[in-house]
Structure 1
Amino acid sequence: MANSINTSGTDTYVGTAHSRVDGPAKVTGQAKYAGEFSAPDLAHGYVVSSAIARGRITALDTAAAEAVPGVLKVLTHENRPRTAWLDYNYQDQVAPPGSPFRALYDDKVHYSGQPVALVVAEDFDTARHAASLVKVAYEAETPNTDLAALQDQAYVPPKKRSGIKPPPEPWGDAVGAYEAAPIKLDGRYHMAVEHHNPMEPHASTVVWEGDGKITVYDKIQGVSNSLGYIIGVFGMKKDDVHVMSPYLGGGFGSGLRPQYQLFLAVMAARDLERSVRVTLTRDQMFSFGYRPDVRQTVSLGAGEDGALQSIRHEAISGTSNFEDYQEVVVNWSGVLYDCPNVALDYRLAKIDTYTPSDMRAPGAVTGVFALEVAMDELAHATGQDPIALRLRNYAEKDRTQDKPFSSKSLRAAYEQGAERFGWAGRDPEPRSMRDGRELVGWGMATGIWESMMQQSSAQATLTADGKLVIGNQTSDIGTGTYTILTQIAADALGLRIEDVTTKLGDSKLADAPIAGGSWTAASSGTAVMKACREIAAQVFTLARRLDDSPLANVDFERVVFKDGHISVAGDPSRSIAIAEVLKAGGMDKIEATGSAGPDSNHSQSFAGYTHSAVFVEVKVDEDLGVVRVTRVVSAIAAGKILNTKTARSQILGGVVMGIGSALEEESMLDHTLGRFMNHNLGEYHVPVHADIHDIDVIFVDEEDKANPMGVKGLGEIGIVGTAAAVANAVFHATGKRIRELPITIDKILA
Structure 2
Amino acid sequence: MTTATTRSRTAGSAAGTPHTRVEGRDKVTGVARYAADLPFDGLAHGWLVLSTIARGRIRAIDTAPVLAMPGVVAVLDHRNAPRLTTDYVGLLGKPDPTCAVFQHDRVPYLGWPVALVVAETPEQAREAAEALVVHYEQQPHDVDFTAEHPDARAVDGHMPAVTAKGDLEARLAASAVVVDVEYTTPEEHHNPMEPHAATARWDGDRLEVVDSNQGATWVVGELANLFSLDPASVRVRSEHVGGGFGSKGVRVPQVAAVMAAKVLRRPVRVVLTRRQMFSLAGYRSPTVQRIRLGADADGRLRALEHRSQSLTSTVHDFVEPSAGVARVMYDADAHHTANRVVPLDMPTPTWMRAPGEAPGSFALEAALDELAEKCGIDPIELRLRNEPERGPVSGLPFAGRNLRACLLEGARRFGWADRDPRPGLRRDGRWLLGTGTAAASFPAGAAPSTATVTALADGTFTVRIAAADIGTGARTALTLVAADALGVPTDRVRVRIGDSAFGPAMIAGGSMGTRSWAWAVTAAAGELRERLALAGDIPPEGITVRSDTTAAVAALAQKERHSFGAQFAEVAVDTATGEVRVRRMLGIFAAGRIVNPLTARGQFLGGMVWGISMALHEEAVRDRASGGHVGPDLAGYHVATNADVPLIEADWVPDPDPDDPVGIKGIGEIGIVGAAAAVANAVWHATGVRHRSLPIRPSRVLTAAGGAVDA
Same fold (TM over 0.5): yes
Q: How far 1:600 sits from its partner (Å)?
A: 6.6
Q: How far 1:599 sits from its partner (Å)?
A: 4.9
> 2:83 matched to 1:83?
yes
Distance in structure 2 (CA, Å) of the matches to 1:610 and 1:239:
36
Q: Which residue number in structure 2 is paired with residue 267 of structure 1?
A: 259
Distance in structure 2 (CA, Å) of the matches to 1:587 and 1:473:
24
> 2:608 matched to 1:608?
no
> 2:454 matched to 1:461?
yes
Q: Is the 8 A contact 1:669 1:677 kept in 2?
A: yes
Q: Is the 8 A contact 1:151 1:316 kept in 2?
A: no
Q: How far 1:493 sits from its partner (Å)?
A: 1.6
Q: 1:267 to 1:98 in 2, by over 3 A?
A: closer
Q: 1:600 to 1:733 in 2, by over 3 A?
A: same
Q: Is the 8 A contact 2:86 2:100 kept in 1?
A: no
> 2:248 matched to 1:247?
no
> 2:260 matched to 1:284?
no
Q: Aligned to 2:510, what secondary structure does the other structure show?
A: coil
Per-residue CA deviations over 1:85-121 (Å, capped at 9, x if unaligned) read 2321xx6322458756421111100111011111100
- Deviates further, 199-208 or 407-416: 199-208
Q: Which residue number in structure 2 is paired with residue 148 of structure 1?
A: 146
Within 5 Å, give how 1:12-27 maps onto structure 2: 12-27=13-28
Q: Which residue number in structure 1 is paired with residue 321 of structure 2?
A: 328
Q: How far 1:12 sits from its partner (Å)?
A: 2.2
- Equivalent pairs: percent with the same residue? 42
Q: How far 1:212 sits from its partner (Å)?
A: 3.9
Within 5 Å, give how 1:578-727 maps onto structure 2: 581-582=537-538, 588-597=541-550, 599=552, 603-705=556-658, 707-727=660-680
Pick the aligned partner of 2:173 from 179, 187, 192: 179
Distance in structure 1 (CA, Å) of the matches to 2:96 and 2:128:
35
Q: Is the 8 A contact 2:147 2:309 kept in 1?
A: no
Q: Is the 8 A contact 2:194 2:243 kept in 1?
A: yes
> 2:540 matched to 1:542?
no
Distance in structure 1 (CA, Å) of the matches to 2:467 and 2:267:
25
- Deviates further, 225-234 or 462-471: 225-234
> 2:187 matched to 1:193?
yes
Per-residue CA deviations over 1:162-207 (Å, capped at 9, x if unaligned) read xx22156422211111122221211111111111111111011123
Q: Which residue number in structure 1 is paired with residue 224 of structure 2?
A: 231
Pick the aligned partner of 1:122 from 111, 120, 123: 120
Distance in structure 2 (CA, Å) of the matches to 1:662 and 1:150:
25
Pick the aligned partner of 2:91 from 86, 90, 93: 93
Q: Is the 8 A contact 1:337 1:393 kept in 2?
A: yes
Per-residue CA deviations over 1:433-461 (Å, capped at 9, x if unaligned) read 11111111100000011110101111111
- Deviates further, 627-636 or 307-316: 307-316
Q: 1:327 to 1:455 in 2, by over 3 A?
A: farther
Q: How far 1:240 sits from its partner (Å)?
A: 3.4
Q: Is the 8 A contact 1:335 1:399 kept in 2?
A: yes
Pick the aligned partner of 2:492 from 489, 499, 504: 499
Per-residue CA deviations over 1:660-683 (Å, capped at 9, x if unaligned) read 111111111112211122210001
Runs of 4+ in 1 over 6 A off after TM superposition: none
Q: Aligned to 2:535, what secondary structure does the other structure show?
A: helix
Q: How far 1:150 sits from its partner (Å)?
A: 5.5
> 2:76 matched to 1:71?
no
| AA at the equivalent of 1:594 | S
Within 5 Å, give how 1:415-454 maps onto structure 2: 415-454=408-447
Q: Is the 8 A contact 2:474 2:514 kept in 1?
A: yes
**Count of aligned pairs:** 694
Q: Is the 8 A contact 1:166 1:328 kept in 2?
A: no
Distance in structure 2 (CA, Å) of the matches to 1:167 and 1:391:
28
- Deviates further, 466-475 or 164-173: 164-173
| AA at the equivalent of 1:459 | T
Q: How far 1:601 sits from its partner (Å)?
A: 7.1
| AA at the equivalent of 1:363 | G
Q: 1:194 to 1:95 in 2, by over 3 A?
A: farther
Q: How far 1:347 sits from its partner (Å)?
A: 1.5
Distance in structure 2 (CA, Å) of the matches to 1:717 and 1:170:
26
Distance in structure 2 (CA, Å) of the matches to 1:328 and 1:513:
21
Q: How far 1:707 sits from its partner (Å)?
A: 3.1
Greater C-alpha radius of gyration: 1
Q: Aligned to 2:545, what secondary structure does the other structure show?
A: strand
Aligned CA-pair RMSD: 1.7
Q: Is the 8 A contact 1:212 1:270 kept in 2?
A: no
| AA at the equivalent of 2:177 | I
Structure 2 alignment gaps of length 5 or more: 1-8, 704-711
Q: Aligned to 1:147, what secondary structure does the other structure show?
A: coil
Q: Which residue number in structure 1 is paired with residue 483 of structure 2?
A: 490
Q: Is the 8 A contact 1:44 1:122 kept in 2?
A: yes
Distance in structure 1 (CA, Å) of the matches to 2:147 and 2:402:
42
